[in-house]
Amino acid sequence: MQITLNGLTLDQEAIELIQAYEPPEGYYLGFSGGKDSVVIYDLTKRAGVKFDAHYNISPIDPPEIREFIKANYPDITWDNHAKGFWKHFLTEGPPLRTARWCCELIKEAGGVGRGKLLGMRRAESTKRKGYKCFQYHSKQHDTSWLLPIVNWTNSDVWQYLTENDLKVCSLYAEGYSRLGCILCPFENPVTTRLNLTRFPKITQNWRAAFDRYFDKRIERGTPLRWATKDDFWNWWIRRK
C-alpha cells in the first residue's frame, strides 16, 4: 500500500491510530457489511485492541448483506434499533435529501456514550469531505467517532481487500460500487431504477408506506399536493 507522510503504509498508520485512541472499555465497531467495514474490522483485529462489533438491522438493507454477515462474521452483535421504521414513516413522511431522518434511526443508533470505530471515508460523498479522523458526534457529545481510513480512496480499499484475501458481499460482483439502504434518497436515478427491479420486496414495502402516509394525511385533513398516490411515489423515485 502507499506510503504516508509519516513513513508508514496506509494500513500501518490506521492500526497505530486505532491503538492510540483505544478507550478503556474498548471500541464500539459499527459494521454495515460493506467493503469499508470489512477493512475496519480486519484492521482492528490486527491492532489487537478490545472491541465489540455491531450490525444495526435495517428493513431496507439488501438481503445479501445479512447473508454475508451471517456466513462470515458470526461474532457480530445484531441490534434492532430500527424496529419501528415503517411506523416512523407515518409520522415523519418519506426521507428526503433535505430531511433524512432514516440515518439517525438506522445507521447512527447504538454505541451512545462510547468510542465508535467507523469506516466512513471522505471520498464517499461531498458531505463527508469535511470529516476528521477523530471527532465527536454533533448530537451525542459524549460519543466519539474514530475514522481510521477517512483518507483512503476506493482503490486503497480494494487493494487492501485483495492483498489480505478478504471476502466481500456478493453484490459487488454484480457491479455495485457501494452498498447501503435500498432506495436511499441519496441514490442517483440510475441506481434507483436498478434497485426498483433488483429488490422487489423492499420496493413493495416502500410503496406500501407511501400509500399509508398518503391516506393518513387525508385522514388528518392535511392532504399532500399530489393528486394521486402514484404521483406522490413517482415524484420521490425520480430523485428531483
> Is the predicted pLDDT of residue 65 greater than 70, yes or no?
yes
In tens, the pLDDT along 91-140 reads 999 999 888 888 888 888 889 899 999 999 988 877 777 788 888 876 66
| E strand map for the chain | 27-30, 51-56, 77-79, 115-117, 134-136, 144-146
> Quick one: pLDDT at residue 139?
67
- Lowest mean pLDDT of 55-64, 93-102, 156-165, 228-237, name the range: 93-102
Mean local confidence (pLDDT), 57-76: 96
- Rounded Cα distance between 198 and 191, Å, is 10
Percent of the chain surpassing pLDDT 70 = 98
> Is the predicted pLDDT of residue 67 greater than 70, yes or no?
yes
> Is the predicted pLDDT of residue 3 greater than 70, yes or no?
yes
> Which residue type does 80 have?
N
> Is the predicted pLDDT of residue 1 greater than 80, yes or no?
no
Question: With bands split at pLDDT 50, 70 and 90, how would you rate the model's confidence at 218?
Answer: very high
Question: With bands split at pLDDT 50, 70 and 90, how would you rate the model's confidence at 188?
Answer: confident
In tens, the pLDDT along 75-84 reads 999 999 988 8
Minimal CA–CA distance to 6: which of 129, 133, 154, 144?
Answer: 133
- Predicted TM-score of the model (pTM): 0.91
> Is the predicted pLDDT of residue 165 greater than 70, yes or no?
yes
> Is the predicted pLDDT of residue 5 greater than 70, yes or no?
no
Percent of the chain surpassing pLDDT 90 = 73
Cα 71 from chain centre = 19
77 or 143, which is more confident?
A: 77
Cell numbers representing residue 153 in the block: 480512496
- Lowest mean pLDDT of 114-123, 196-205, 213-222, name the range: 114-123
Nearest-5° Cα angle at 59, 56 to 62: 90
In angstroms, the first-to-last Cα distance of the chain is 40
Question: With bands split at pLDDT 50, 70 and 90, how would you rate the model's confidence at 240?
Answer: confident
User: Starting at the edge strand that comes first in sequence, how are the strands of the sheet with 27-30 ordered?
Assistant: 77-79, 51-56, 27-30, 115-117, 144-146, 134-136
> Is the predicted pLDDT of residue 30 greater than 80, yes or no?
yes
> Quick one: pLDDT at residue 182?
96
